[in-house]
Amino acid sequence: MTRRRSSYRSLRSLQRDVRACRACVEAGFPLESLPVVHGHEGQLAYILGQAPGWVEGEERRPWRGRAGGTLRRWLDMDEDEFYGTFYCASVTRCYPGRSPGGRGDRTPTPREQELCAFWREWELRLLRPGLVVTVGGLAARRLLGLVRLGECVGRRFTYGDAVAIPLPHPSGASGWLNDPANRALVAEAAALVRDELDRLRGAGPLSPSAPSIRRRTGTDT
Ligand code: SF4
């Protein structure tokens, strides 16, 4: 049974309700896993993907499949550093199943994305991360309003008080990564993430040149 409070004062109570959420199932959507939740207070950064895959849904841990390995290779991180650094979230938190066409996983519908935005908004309010990394076009669109991923990978933005850095999805399903010029942009974006993490650890000043994105509050649109 889905429970959503009018406000949350602790991440612990929020995560307890996220783990029990069945809002999309109650709305008639065919989800194939329970919610995947991973993270704790005090982490340096918040990473937002699209949705868990089959492996993640089975293990109820994010970024466990091949795409997760590629993402960690881009960021030059082993598993311990990755999971210790990032609070891992996604536009929707349950495995949506295979796409009806049979190629890849189903993209969550706009209604599912809206239902799940509630949890993201509360996480961001409670965590107030210094760095937000979006992974894939859907996450960049939903959180940052960035429509053309090819024009923003390799650049840094702001989201409220946080620095925001978009990455493409490491699954490579779109073919965007086949272009060597795009792979160079990914390397630039990954370097930006590492630089920002160093800054957050106290290693350097924030560059003032990042375009600003208005922070959204309440229900995502
Ligand atoms: S995708 Fe999000 S809103 Fe939908 S059931 Fe899972 S946790 Fe709840």
Residue 169: CB within 6 Å of ligand 1? no
- Tokens found for residue 13: 């109570």
Residue 57: CB within 6 Å of ligand 1? no
Q: Is 140 helix (H, G, I), strand (E, B) or coil?
A: helix
Q: How far apart (Å, rounded) are the C-alpha atoms in residues 106 and 61?
A: 19
Instruction: Please say if the pLDDT value at position 208 is more than 50.
Output: no
| Atom of ligand 1 minimally distant from the CA of 25 | 5
- Give the residue-averaged pLDDT of 89-104: 91
Nearest to 143 by CA among 90, 72, 101: 90
In the prediction, which pLDDT does 101 show?
A: 80
Q: Name, in order, each residue with C-beta under 8 angstroms of 183's C-beta and a sequence gap of 6 or more.
A: 177
Q: Are 195 and 92 in contact (CB under 8 A)?
A: no
Q: How far apart (Å, rounded) are the C-alpha atoms in residues 24 and 1?
A: 11
- List the Cα angle 44/49/52 in 5-degree steps: 115
Residue 33: CB within 6 Å of ligand 1? no
With the most atoms of ligand 1 within 8 angstroms of its CB, the residue from 3, 18, 24, 26 to mutate is: 24
What helix, strand, coil percent values describe the chain, rounded to 5? 40, 15, 45
Confidence of residue 211 (pLDDT cuts 50, 70, 90): low
Q: How far apart (Å, rounded) are the C-alpha atoms in residues 190 and 204?
A: 17
Instruction: Please say if the pLDDT value at position 84 is more than 80.
Output: yes
- Tokens found for residue 216: 């959204």
In the prediction, which pLDDT does 12 show?
A: 96
Domains of the chain listed by start with CATH number: 30-200 (3.40.470.10)
Neighbours of 93 (CB within 10 A): 28
Instruction: Please say if the pLDDT value at position 216 is more than 60.
Output: no
- For 87, the enclosing helix (H) or strand (E) is strand 86-90
Query: How big is the chain, counted in residues?
Result: 221
Instruction: Please say if the pLDDT value at position 220 is more than 50.
Output: no
pLDDT per residue as tens digits for the range 28-66: 999 999 999 999 999 999 999 999 999 999 999 999 999
Q: Which amino acid is at 161?
A: D
pLDDT per residue as tens digits for the range 139-187: 999 999 998 888 899 999 999 999 999 999 998 777 889 999 999 999 9
Residue percentage of the chain with pLDDT more than 90: 83
